[in-house]
Chains A and B, each alone.
Chain A
Amino acid sequence: MKIDWASLGSVFGVSLVVTVGLVALFTLGIAGLSRRERATAQGGSATLAVTGAYVCFAACAAAVAYGISLIVA
């Protein structure tokens, strides 16, 4: 009996990194948007935070697109 530890390990590693990375990116994006919400409430603006947020979301969207391409392929 041969257990394929290598592929199990890579599944574990990839899943861990991708999940944590994606959630972190997404949370940062949301934090950026919340900052804008607070800033507008006080009459200011938060251009940097908003730009950062959209970069984060774009990265997440790319990951989703990659996921779909994996499913379709």
Chain B
Amino acid sequence: MENFSLILAIVVVTALAFDFTNGFHDTANAMATTISTGALKPKVAVAMSAVLNLVGAFLSVEVANTISKGLVDESGIRPEVIFAALVGAILWNLLTWLVGLPSSSSHALMGGLIGATIASAGSGAVHGDVLVTKVLIPAVAAPIVAGVAALLATRLSYTLGRKADGKAAAKGYRTGQIASAGLVSLAHGTNDAQKTMGIITLALVAGGAVAPDSDPPTWVILSAGLAIALGTYLGGWRIIRTMGKGLTDLQPQQGFAAQTSAATVILASSHLGFSLSTTHAVSGSVMGAGLGRKGGVVRWSTATRMFVAWGLTLPAAALVGALAETVTGLGDWGTAAVAVFLIASSAAIWKLSRREVIDHHNVNAADEPEPAGVVTQAIAAVTPPPAGTVAEGLTATIPAPPATAQSTEPAAGPAAV
């Protein structure tokens, strides 16, 4: 059955695009502390993370299989539903990147899937209690667990290391940070690249291109690994800046404690059967490390923006996913409209990001001088995402040409900052 239809091709490309956004969204998880404490040069850090993500993608297909075998009922799902889900996830990832907020790519993906499934099969198709146990509780638990561990570890590190100074100490903390950041990258590659593989495989099964219950084909593994590595290498510098400099100021000891805590929490959770989001764990551990140093401060305005973004991730992606699914349900032209809309709004967001470029040159430049600006920015930046998604939804119900024209509007919110 070699019916590799157009819609299937679109889904695969969209899934790889999501994988790419996932990569650059989550570079910060592994490398923000390493970059902000100066343990590695920005470019070197993202290159290392990219390679480890790629390696991680090849290590196993277990996570991919849990997604493509069993999470969703394969028989009832159409490629269009997956496409709609991916549209929701990509747009949310891009929006949070634009405002520089770390948020969970997995939640965005889940939100998109939930929204698209509801629009396609009704709300009965989603299990509310699974949502609570698999999404809400972990989202609250991850930053607390990682934060407390990082806080205590930082305290201890400063107490024990009172006499640790000089070159040996600097070099030591540097090595330690690189090692723990590497572990996080590797774990991320095995988890997140595989989510995309799972999605692509699911779409291939749904479209009848491969037999149900098969492992991901090699080209899927390869392309998903490359997409996430490329995204990681290009680096979500905006998010790295928030995570490494925005939440708190990190010294090498803190960076080491934070990254160790994050790596431990991620590994412990995924192997004790209570999966926690990488993004949430890292953000929590960075804040914990910030609080652990005497005189250390956490910028709660930035943290609050981040929490708001976490809370919105699932519903916002679900909303976009649902609307996209409704439109694709109208027929082939509907699918085309959604595709055009996705490309247009992605381009618009990218264009907006060029107004204030953040890259490896100024990723560490965000020092604390202007607290007033930070607060106003926080207020301004928290509001646009929901407004943006709603507006997108409205435009998405209109056929292609106006959608293109209006898609610049939601993005205009953040630009006004």
- Give the B-binding residues of A (Cβ under 8 A): 1-4, 7-8, 10-12, 14-16, 18-20, 22-24, 26-31, 33-38, 60, 64, 67-68, 70-73
Flag if A30 contacts B146 (CB, 8 Å). Answer: no
| Inter-chain contacts of B154 with A (CB < 8 A) | 23
- Interface segment, B75-83, B253-261, B392-400? B253-261
Does any Cβ of A come within 8 Å of B176's Cβ?
A: yes
Does any Cβ of A come within 8 Å of B179's Cβ?
A: yes
Flag if B256 contacts A26 (CB, 8 Å). Answer: yes
Flag if A15 contacts B172 (CB, 8 Å). Answer: no
Cross-chain contact of B269 among A11, A16, A28, A73 (Cβ < 8 A): A11
| Inter-chain contacts of A2 with B (CB < 8 A) | 129, 133
Flag if B156 contacts A11 (CB, 8 Å). Answer: no
CB distance from B381 to the nearest CB of A (A): 31
CB distance from B233 to the nearest CB of A (A): 20
State A68–B186 Cα separation when bound (angstroms).
8
| Inter-chain contacts of B261 with A (CB < 8 A) | 15, 19, 23
Flag if B149 contacts A27 (CB, 8 Å). Answer: no
Does any Cβ of A come within 8 Å of B152's Cβ?
A: yes
| Known interface pairs A4-B133, A7-B272, A7-B274; A33-B172 also in contact (CB < 8 Å) | yes
CB distance from B30 to the nearest CB of A (A): 13
| Inter-chain contacts of A7 with B (CB < 8 A) | 272-274
Within 8 A of A (CB), among B245-289: 253, 256-257, 260-261, 263-265, 267-269, 271-274, 276
Flag if A1 contacts B160 (CB, 8 Å). Answer: no
| Known interface pairs A24-B157, A68-B186; A18-B257 also in contact (CB < 8 Å) | no
Which of A7, A19, A26 counts the most chain B CB atoms within 10 A?
Answer: A19
State A67–B169 Cα separation when bound (angstroms).
24
Flag if B152 contacts A16 (CB, 8 Å). Answer: yes
CB distance from A33 to the nearest CB of B (A): 4
Flag if A11 contacts B265 (CB, 8 Å). Answer: yes
Interface size on B, residues (CB 8 A): 53
**Number of cross-chain contacts by CB at 8 Å:** 138
Does any Cβ of A come within 8 Å of B153's Cβ?
A: yes
CB distance from B189 to the nearest CB of A (A): 9
Q: Across the two chains, which residue of chain B brings its CB closest to A8?
A: B274
A sample of 9 more A-B contacts (CB under 8 A), given A4-B273, A20-B149, A27-B164, is A2-B129, A11-B141, A11-B268, A15-B146, A24-B153, A26-B256, A31-B161, A37-B166, A67-B263
Does any Cβ of A come within 8 Å of B294's Cβ?
A: no
| Known interface pairs A11-B272, A16-B148, A71-B56; A23-B256 also in contact (CB < 8 Å) | yes
Cross-chain contact of A15 among B60, B167, B179, B264 (Cβ < 8 A): B264
Flag if B156 contacts A24 (CB, 8 Å). Answer: yes
Flag if B56 contacts A24 (CB, 8 Å). Answer: no
| Inter-chain contacts of B267 with A (CB < 8 A) | 67, 70-71
Flag if B153 contacts A71 (CB, 8 Å). Answer: no
State A72–B137 Cα separation when bound (angstroms).
27
Flag if B153 contacts A20 (CB, 8 Å). Answer: yes
Does any Cβ of A come within 8 Å of B145's Cβ?
A: yes
Does any Cβ of A come within 8 Å of B35's Cβ?
A: no
State A62–B274 Cα separation when bound (angstroms).
24
| Inter-chain contacts of B156 with A (CB < 8 A) | 20, 23-24, 27
Does any Cβ of A come within 8 Å of B417's Cβ?
A: no
